[in-house]
Amino acid sequence: MIARVSLEIALRKEFDYAIPPELADRVDVGSRVQVPFGPRKVLGVVTAVAEESAQARLKPILKIIGAQTLVTARVLKLARWMADYYCCAPEIALKSILPEAVRKEAASWRERLFVTALPVQDDFPKLPKRQLEVWNIVEERREISLSELVELAETTAATVRKLEDRGLVRVAPQITERDPYANEQILPSQPLVLNAAQAKALAAVTTAMDAKQGDRALKSGTFLLHGVTGSGKTEVYLQAIATALAQGKGAIVLVPEISLTPQTVERFKSRFSHGSNHTLVAVLHSHLSAGERHDEWHKIRQGRARIVIGARSAIFAPVEPLGLIVVDEEHEHTYKQEEAPRYNARDVAIMRGQMEGAAVVLGSATPSLESYHNCQRGKFTLLELPERVDNQKMPYVRVVDMRQAARGGKGPPTFSPQLKEAITQRLEKGEQTILFLNRRGYSTALECTQCGFVATCPNCSLSLTYHRPEQKLRCHVCNHIEPVPAACPKCKNPQIRYSGLGTQKVEDTLNKLFPQARVQRMDSDLLKRKEDYRRILGDFRTGKIDILVGTQMIAKGLHFPNVTLVGIIYADMALHQPDFRAGERTFQLLTQVAGRAGRGEVEGEVFVQAFTPFHPAIQYARRHDFIGFYEQEIEFRKQLNYPPFSRVALLTLRGHNEDKVKFSAEHVRKELDKLSTENNPEPLSLALSPSAGERVAEGRVRGAFKDLNIAGPAPAPLLRAENYYRYQLMLRTTQMSKLSLALAELVNRLELPEGVTLTVDIDPTGLS
């Protein structure tokens, strides 16, 4: 027997190895193995097992990593689809589906030495005092870890070993699981009685879960659960998961990393994971230690954990069989991975659901245009939770025209008179305020009033941000730092002006305007550690802070009953970026931030300061009108043929030499033009993966594209970043699977000059 192995170090190629007889019954598709590769020993994954190979004289597999196959056949299939669709090497896709902590050869369970009392013989020896003390503890506990015993008895391991020599105790290694939530008290919770809208949503999802894979219409397995925060979406997820468990299946719940708080995890653990079932919920996220991640993952693989909660990559968790996938906050762009494989976990979830016959529930208060459109055209089923469970009113939103506030003064003030007045009132009543500005630093530009010089980063085409606490200029892309000049470096004029607003300046202005108020800033400059984040939120919750100023860090999911005012300092900041999703982003962000006001008894109030107050994204957010926003935005997308009416592939060329980059981009453009004009007579021979091969065989890759639109090359919005020049081409088509394959073929064939690289991003979330 031979095994075909995919190695991380050799892209787009697989190699055959002989399976030695002693490993014959353990090597299978998905096994992680160590094999010889030239003079080295490398790790890989078995992708196929066959009788024989076309190659002669195969080298043998050296060993197997892990007791079980690590990659299940289903997840392997998903990885292959991902490689094809996102146009990346299958090895890269395979690598990303296993956490580093699981892939590593050395990864394993933690073993600790345990001391166990052995049955006492009749002739119990007379022990020295120290040994007797140790023995007494062991006898009482029956079993105790060596380290605990040494500490408790104030003794040494050598003394314990003496007892072992006498045949009184056994010292042997045992597995101890690393449980990141071992110290949390989990109190069981009971399912709530659902309201009518929740019950209807749950019934739709569970009906799809009941249906057998064969008799279910393909399209009915994906649901969009549209409901504002507090409308009871999570309770619907919990009860749908209970149904999956009752059917003997598992579930995966994806949440954005930032929402993966202990409170979120606890809600799921409380319902399913306590007492004798305490391993039922596994958590996968970036703050776990490697050991914890290893143990959580293997609990899933062994089937002891059936429910997985995690960020993006948890979509590859080896839950089997899988009944349900939940993607909470499905519109979040953090579901997209910004390095290869550049996948969107929401879209991978939908594909996995289809492949495995699992129901998929996407939840959001502000669904993405793509998902809502998919409901409109019948691909997904729309489920709505129109009201908050507690029937609380949505906060009252006022839009303040900052063009008026700016008139007659020297530039726009940080606070409009209206917002200032509202803050004053809150301080008088002892209520709390949140102020939101999605920009760190003090001011975003340093300009000379005489010659117009602007301090820019030497590595990026970006102005430097002034950071007041440390008196430095900093680049927010590459982190370059330089001192603040005393005079203009160009014309020596001492009059330097700071312009553009950051959170530090908001904090500073607040301290001047309201000296009696307790103001706290919260952004990533300040919060280097997770504890800081918890501490500040704790202080805010207990009323030690009056005004919290922050970036998007404070936009999500926080629940503060005493917050009755939210101020958005500069609402149109993201609106004028060269990105067709700018309006959608702004609408989502405003809706989210506004949702922080009035979560308690008192009705909340929101002030939105804007320079384009009549922009639809701002006006619809003001009225909490998602449908209205959707309808006008979808019209715009349709007219310009942007997603969801087409799909986008973004090609970026990078290099230190601008001329070379530009020239290469033009060359790529010529190659792409052939795709849309040539009637590719030959099937493209793509030895990428079987599924790609199948598609080639079906002839889907053949022929010119019906509707390929190519724009560029053009300089990226940020032409230079970290000393690399970037040029981009934007491709749009409705035939993305076909385009991905053609692009993979192009990337393979293309010879770029030294120092220039090309990346392909399918369904990008932004242009940068």
SS3 content of the chain, % helix, strand, coil (to 5): 35, 25, 40
Q: Could you tell which of ligand ADP, Zn ion, none binds residue 457, using a CB distance below 5 to 8 A set by kind?
A: Zn ion
Phi, psi of 85 (to 5 degrees): -70, -45
- By CB under 6 A, is residue 234 in contact with ligand ADP? yes
Return the number of the residue (121 or 391) whose C-beta is nearest ligand ADP: 391
Residues 472-511 close enough to bind Zn ion by CB under 5 A: 475, 477-478, 480
Q: For Zn ion, give the closer residue by CB, 481 or 687.
A: 481
**Sole binder of ligand ADP in the list 227, 310, 395, 712 (CB under 6 A):** 227
Kindly state the smallest distance separating residue 551's Cβ from Zn ion, in Å. 19
Q: Could you tell me which residues come within 8 angstroms of residue 136 by beta carbon, excluding any fewer than 6 positions away?
A: none
- Nearest CA-CA partner of 540 in 557, 520, 515, 524: 520
Both tokens of 594, joined, read: 């506004």
**Does 269 participate in binding ligand ADP (rule CB under 6 A)?**
no
Which listed residue (206, 229, 371, 564) binds ligand ADP by CB under 6 A? 229
With contacts defined by CB under 5 A, name the span among 88-96, 216-224, 285-293, 456-464 that binds Zn ion.
456-464
CA distance 49 to 37: 19
* Secondary structure element (H or E) that encloses residue 196, with its range: helix 196-210
Site string for Zn ion, 675-704 (x = CB under 5 A): ------------------------------
Q: Exposed/middle/buried for 446, CB within 10 Å: 0-12, 13-18, 19+?
A: buried
Which of 180, 232, 353, 500 touches ligand ADP (CB under 6 A)?
A: 232
Span interacting with ligand ADP, options 80-88, 142-150, 188-196, 538-546, rule CB under 6 A: 188-196
Choosing from 14, 84, 91, 235, the residue that interacts with ligand ADP (CB under 6 A) is 235
Q: Which stretch binds ligand ADP (CB under 6 A): 150-158, 225-233, 425-433, 722-730?
A: 225-233
Residue 378: enclosing H or E segment and its boundaries? none
Closest CA to 86 of 311, 312, 348, 360: 348
Report d(CA 705, CA 738) in Å as an integer.
Answer: 9
Query: Would you tell me how many other CB atoms lie within 10 Å of the CB of residue 193?
Result: 8
Residue number with CB closer to ligand ADP (192 or 750)? 192
225 binds, among Zn ion, ligand ADP, none (CB under 5 to 8 A by kind): none
DSSP conformation letters of 273-324: -SGGGTTSEEEE-TTS-HHHHHHHHHHHHTTS--EEEESGGGGG---SSEEE
Q: By CB under 6 A, is residue 613 in contact with ligand ADP?
A: no
CB of 406 to Zn ion, least distance (A): 30
# residues contacting Zn ion (CB under 5 A): 7
**Torsion sign, CA atoms 487, 492, 498, 500:** negative
Q: Output 392 or 456, the one with its CB closest to ligand ADP.
A: 392
User: Rounded to whole angstroms, how far apart are CA atoms 230 and 466?
Assistant: 39
| Options 95, 103, 233, 271; binder of ligand ADP; rule CB under 6 A | 233
Angstrom distance (rounded) from CA 710 to CA 529: 44
According to the binding rule CB under 6 A, does residue 242 interact with ligand ADP? no
Residue pair 77/93 in contact (Cβ under 8 Å)? The answer is no
| # residues contacting ligand ADP (CB under 6 A) | 14
CB 721 within 8 A of CB 630: no
* Residue 459 contacts Zn ion per CB under 5 A: yes
> What Å distances lie between residue 120 and 125, 142, 166, 759, CA to CA?
10, 12, 11, 69
For position 239 contacting ligand ADP by CB under 6 A, the verdict is no
Instruction: Report which of 114, 117, 155 is spatially closest to residue 134, judged by C-alpha positions.
Output: 155
Helix (DSSP H) and strand (DSSP E) numbers for the chain: 22, 30
Q: Should residue 192 be labelled a site residue for ligand ADP when binding is judged by CB under 6 A?
A: yes
DSSP assignment of 590-640, as one string?
HHHHHTTS--SSSPPEEEEEESSTT-HHHHHHHTT-HHHHHHHHHHHHHHT
Q: Among Zn ion, ligand ADP, none, what does residue 198 contact (CB within 5–8 Å per kind)?
A: ligand ADP
Rounded least distance, CB 237 to ligand ADP, Å: 8
Q: Which of 389, 478, 582, 634 binds ligand ADP (CB under 6 A)?
A: 389
Contact window for ligand ADP (CB under 6 A) among 121-129, 186-194, 271-279, 655-663: 186-194
Q: Of the listed pieces 308-316, 443-451, 468-476, 727-735, which binds Zn ion according to CB under 5 A?
A: 468-476
Q: How far apart are CA 351 and CA 373, in angstroms?
A: 17
Residue 463 within binding range of ligand ADP, rule CB under 6 A:
no
Give the nearer residue to Zn ion in terms of CB position, either 473 or 692. 473
Q: Give yes or no for residue 134 binding Zn ion (CB under 5 A).
A: no
Return residues touching Zn ion (CB under 5 A): 457, 459-460, 475, 477-478, 480
Return residues touching ligand ADP (CB under 6 A): 192-195, 198, 227, 229-235, 389
